[in-house]
Amino acid sequence: MITANNYYRNVFGHKMYKASISLNVTCPNRDGSKGSGGCIFCSEGGSGEFASHFEEPIKEQIEKAVSQVRNKAGNDAGYIAYFQSFTSTYCSPCYLEKALVEASSCEKIEAVSVATRPDCLSDEIIEVLKRQVERMPLFVELGLQTASDKTAGLINRCYKTEEYPKAVARLKDAGINVITHIIFGLPGETKAMMMDTVRLCVDSGSDGYKFTCLYVLKNTPLEKLFFENKVEILEMEEYFDIVEDAVRMLPDNAVVHRFTGDGPKKILIAPEWTKNKRQVINYVNRRFGL
């Protein structure tokens, strides 16, 4: 397993920070084409709380994001334009390409990362992504969350797990680096089911991983289930025990981009332990020898 920091240093020669961007997109499980309401844990902002509004030009969104971390990052750091909110490929190929070109032309941007779902990668979109690889390194982040179709039904993911390995194969054929998002602690999931998810990703050839515990955010369907005591939330030790087992399953060259998420404080209900970010970072550093 390689940490994201070490990976970035090897590939780019310095630290890399993300500059989050929003596009004018939604998700197929929000707009009625496959479902409505979105994934039960997902916030109204489509997991893009750290990004600017899509109406702002891409360049301005990037400048704003860079200025927020510049002091911490210093002058030597590089930036990844991160198309984070909702499903960033759920749009016309032309719109996506224009946005990618604009982001790539911004000063300090050395790579692009596009968050999407395995069922939103048409041939035309893959062609757009392929052309982006020729401009600069590209990561595509797939929200899998779980390999269980039963859990996927419970969380309203609205695509079958079988779409995931096919998407990974098509992206890798196009020379794209694939990062998979996995959530541990989804309703009804046993540890064995969570490890099945990791196994599927490893077998499919995912290059990178973003692990997170299940967060309960305000104004989500999960919030209601939580207050009805229908969802159990993992304690910190319990969660990192699972992460440790997951990491053991990864090949040596797999990159762990995230050991746990960072829920937006303003709308975060649980778990309580994630609210103390510094404490969590120290714990992760100690436990995983980072």
Q: CA angle, corner 255, sides to 116 and 161, nearest 5?
A: 40
Between 23 and 250, name the residue whose CB sits nearer to ligand SF4.
Answer: 23
Q: Are 152 and 159 in contact (CB under 8 A)?
A: yes
- Annotate each residue in 57-96 with x if it binds ligand SF4 (CB under 6 A) or - if it does not, as one string: -----------------------------xx---------
State the minimum distance, in angstroms, from the CB of residue 110 to ligand SF4: 25
Between 79 and 83, name the residue whose CB sits nearer to ligand SF4.
Answer: 83
> Where does the chain have alpha helices with state H?
4-12, 58-73, 93-104, 123-135, 149-154, 163-173, 191-204, 221-227, 236-249, 277-287
State the minimum distance, in angstroms, from the CB of residue 82 to ligand SF4: 13
* Site for ligand SF4, residues 99 to 118, rule: CB under 6 A: 117
Inter-axis angle of helices 93-104 and 123-135, to 10 degrees? 10
State the minimum distance, in angstroms, from the CB of residue 22 to ligand SF4: 11
State the minimum distance, in angstroms, from the CB of residue 30 to ligand SF4: 6
State the minimum distance, in angstroms, from the CB of residue 156 to ligand SF4: 8
Between 146 and 204, name the residue whose CB sits nearer to ligand SF4.
Answer: 146
- Give the three-state DSSP class for 210: strand
Between 106 and 217, name the residue whose CB sits nearer to ligand SF4.
Answer: 217
Report the chain's terminal Cα–Cα distance, integer Å.
Answer: 11
185 binds ligand SF4 (CB under 6 A): no
State the minimum distance, in angstroms, from the CB of residue 89 to ligand SF4: 11
For residue 66, count other CB atoms closer than 10 A to its CB. Answer: 19
- Annotate each residue in 143-182 with x if it binds ligand SF4 (CB under 6 A) or - if it does not, as one string: x---------------------------------------
Cα–Cα distance between 248 and 242 in angstroms, integer? 10
CA distances from 60 to 46, 51, 106, 109, 175 (A): 20, 11, 10, 13, 29
Between 157 and 240, name the residue whose CB sits nearer to ligand SF4.
Answer: 157
Between 119 and 207, name the residue whose CB sits nearer to ligand SF4.
Answer: 119
Cα–Cα distance between 184 and 264 in angstroms, integer? 18
Q: Are 135 and 102 in contact (CB under 8 A)?
A: no
Total chain residues near ligand SF4 (CB under 6 A): 12
257 binds ligand SF4 (CB under 6 A): no
State the minimum distance, in angstroms, from the CB of residue 42 to ligand SF4: 3
Residue 259, token pair as written in the block: 């050991």
Residue 243, token pair as written in the block: 């992460």
**DSSP bridge partners of 209:** 180, 256
* Site for ligand SF4, residues 1 to 60, rule: CB under 6 A: 27, 29-30, 38-39, 42, 46-47
**Alpha-carbon dihedral 282, 285, 289, 290, rounded to 10 degrees:** -140
Residue 241 one-letter amino acid = D
The binding site for ligand SF4 (CB under 6 A) comprises: 27, 29-30, 38-39, 42, 46-47, 86-87, 117, 143
